[in-house]
Structure 1
Amino acid sequence: MANNSLSDRETALVSLDAIQSLIDVLVASRYQVCGPTVRDGAIVYDSIASVSDLPAGWTDHQEAGRYRLERRDDAALFGFAVGPQSWKRFLHPPIHKLWEVRNTEQGLAIADTNEPPPRFAFIGVRACEIHAIAIQDRVFCDGPYVDPVYGARRRETFIVAVNCAQAGGTCFCVSMQTGPKAQAGYDLALTELLDASTHEFLVEVGSPAGAEVLRQIPHRPAAHTHCAAAEAVVAHTATQMGRSLDTDGIRQLLQGNPNHPRWDEVADRCLSCGNCTMVCPTCFCTTVEDHSDLAGQSAERVRKWDSCFTMDFSYIHGGSVRMTARSRYRQWMTHKLANWIDQFGTSGCVGCGRCITWCPVGIDLTEEAAAIRATGHAGKEEKHGGT
């Protein structure tokens, strides 16, 4: 994990070729290097081995219920916002085998499923996603009950952040105070500086591990002009937000309006598909399933991502607690923006906009909150960002 302090901070300038050196150094350090790549018409996160795997020259156009890739007029490596996947899929895997039992000649035997966790190096982590990882750190690692699967994977993670040079049509990280610049939680942070004659990256060091990796790749000192250019990139991105969310008193607003008519209106459109929870970088709900083979020779228990939009999620003997789309959407949005604050001291939203983009019917969380604020009973309260 990154451990940021002011004394760790230093800046440098690296070339495009040095990004390949960065990948090579991480691979040599036995990291599984993961980053953005183009596949199936989207920018997804997967294992990468070279700069050629990165989405050079691609960008994304996002609106409510819409996502498409488009070609840029330059060769930027990180000239896009965020795609359908988050880093959650590596740290909190969608399916994880908890245990397996087999029928042997000596009787039932518990199979060993305790494989060493992978050592991940993430390249291209946005500021909002760093905040999302910090939120999941609280959920899984703080308090008396620690998730060993998440903890083992998170402990060894090396994070290379990328400060956003372009906001998406559904981004609202400025509203949540989670971006577009990564302030902490990384080992190295890149800002892509690209013009007609140069393609370079300003590198900020965020941890001793990051400093050690930087020493192993070609770099040179960053001048004041480079730092100023990087600040200008981030400042420009902050003005590009496609959405905004008024977080003033949001907790009291949602908790105080459980019967607002807007919940009925959104329920008429909501498909209860759970897309919003699957693409969300902070949602953490799971279910447990038991499986056995037809021959009766083995059985296993697996943990899988689940969603508060499924009927069975709130099942208690006799039936589901939340039978309607109205109650399920209200549960999700109120938990995300209000009750999460009671549980973990922070909002559960980081403003990445994925839930808006990947909703099949284009339901917009920021629009729903604004509609309730316009006619609901709101109170004054401290603003809450992503972490």
Structure 2
Amino acid sequence: MDTVVIESLDPLIAALRSAGYTVVGPTVRDAAVRMAEISSAGDLPAGAGDVQRPGHYRVTERGDDMLFDFAAGPDSAKRFTQPPRQRLFRMRGQTVEEVREKAQCVALLGVRACDLAAIAVQDRVFLGRHPDPAYRRRREALFLIAVNCAVPGGTCFCVSMGTGPKATTGFDLALTELATPHRFTVESGSERGAQIVAAIPHRPAGRGDLTAAEEVSRIAATRMGRHVDTAGIQQWLPAAHDSPRWTDVASRCLSCTNCTMVCPTCFCSTVEDITDLTGEYTERSERWDSCFSLDFTELSGQPPVRSSALARYRQWLTHKFATWYDQFGTSGCVGCGRCITWCPTGIDVTEELSAIRDAPGETSCIR
């Protein structure tokens, strides 16, 4: 289907709801742009912007009617593909009851290109050699409406990672918001996306619309807040095992797990058993965990394999940017910048990578 133009998002939202989807989009709550259920375009954060830098996030008022002129907030699609907590099974007495919850049909409105790339990374993890049936059900029930980024945040570096700011694949629909007059170009990326567009008022995109949409992405690509030099990173980062920079960053890291909680690709989890006071009912759940947690690498009651913050930070950064390639054939980072913004002490992974790469006396052996 060719690119078309729509004047309002209300018919799109209504069509998705009529098709059985719960529509989830950006809203302002808890002093941040958060993803929540919406029923109309009036629920979207018109005129909202944000300021992001290491350890700092603030929602601002832009004084216009634009609906998506802000960078990625703390929520990503991970909450809908890999929920923070999910029940695995329960037991009543000696009877085991397997839990097979039906996946809710969710339409995510406002997904950015970096988050589409993150979903593709998680697909490699959960649909690869050992597919996760629950993840597959949730993934297939997800309708993705991308919005091409116009205003990157101060911590964004998706251009460095080759993941944005323009969505090129992995979406059902991709929107570009344009001003004067306010409108949206719409590109279909799937058959079900095309069916939704066919059901709402639209017109063919003219040359001026297409040129304006291309300009949005071009300008956004020049306004990245951060940059990472990824040349040779698979080799030099693991080889920097003994870099003095690890000690420096470990002295600032709180091991609070914020970076992994907001990261759209981190997938570490643990299992938790809960029983009632009678012992007749037991429930096992999977919940998000983090490689920054001290007990994450406990083995058979032995002391943790990575007992220091230095070892845990080194493992996380090296895995994310280098050894993830060995496992999944791609980087584990998509350049969204959330880990920088939401780190309480303002640790900037782009700064750390640059310092580690340039540190004198780093070893060339991999241990």
With structure 1 as the length reference, what TM-score do the two structures score?
0.92
Secondary structure of 2:15 counterpart: helix
**Corresponding residue number in structure 1 for 2:276:** 293
Q: How far, CA to CA, are the matches of 1:327 and 1:162 in structure 2?
A: 38
Matched with 1:170 is 155
Aligned-partner SS, 2:163: coil
By how many angstroms is 1:297 displaced?
Answer: 2.6
Q: Could you tell me which residue of structure 2 aligns to residue 154 of structure 1?
A: 139
Identify which of 306, 309, 313 aligns with 1:329: 313
| Contact kept in structure 2, 1:252 and 1:378, CA below 8 Å | no
For the residue of structure 2 that corresponds to 1:320, the secondary structure is coil
Residue 378 of structure 1 and its aligned partner are, at CA, apart by: 9.4
Q: Shift in Å at residue 96 of structure 1?
A: 0.4
Displacement of 1:53 in angstroms is 1.3
Structure 2 partner of 1:118: 104
Structure 1 position 112, deviation (Å)? 5.4
Is the 1:249–1:378 Cα contact (8 Å) retained in structure 2?
A: no
Q: What is the number of residues matched between the two proteins? A: 362
Counterpart in 1 of 2:79? 89
Amino acid at match of 1:158: F
CA distance in 1, matches of 2:292, 2:359: 26
Counterparts of 2:75 and 2:190, CA distance in 1: 26
2:44 is matched with 54
Q: Normalising to structure 2: TM-score of the pair?
A: 0.97
Q: Is the 8 Å Cα contact of residues 160 and 187 (structure 1) preserved in structure 2?
A: yes
184, 187, 210: which one aligns with 1:201: 184
2:282 alignment partner AA? A
**Residue 112 to residue 335, structure 1, CA distance change in 2 (3 Å):** closer
Alignment of 1:259-338 (within 5 A): 259-317=242-300, 318-338=302-322
Report if aligned partners of 1:140, 1:150 keep a CA contact under 8 Å in 2.
yes
Alignment partner of 1:130 out of 110, 116, 128: 116
Deviations 1:19-55 (A, max 9, x none): 1111111111111211111111001112111111111
User: Letter of the aligned partner of 2:272 in structure 1?
Assistant: E
Confirm or deny: 8 A CA contact 2:26 2:34 kept in the other structure: yes
Judge which range, 20-29 or 356-365, deviates more: 20-29
Uncovered stretches (5+) of structure 2, i.e. residues with no partner: none
Which ranges in structure 1 are unaligned for 5 or more consecutive residues? 1-8, 380-387
| CA drift at 1:171 | 0.2
Shift of 1:156: 2.1
Secondary structure of the structure 1 residue equivalent to 2:283: strand
Q: Tell me how far apart the structure 1 counterparts of residues 270 and 56 of structure 2 sit (CA, whole Å).
A: 29
Structure 1 counterpart of 2:3: 11
The percent of aligned pairs where both chains have the same amino acid is: 54
Deviation at 1:158, TM superposition (A): 1.1
CA distance in 1: counterparts of 2:91 and 2:250, whole angstroms: 43
What is the deviation of 1:222? 0.5
Structure 1 residue 281: Cα displacement: 0.1
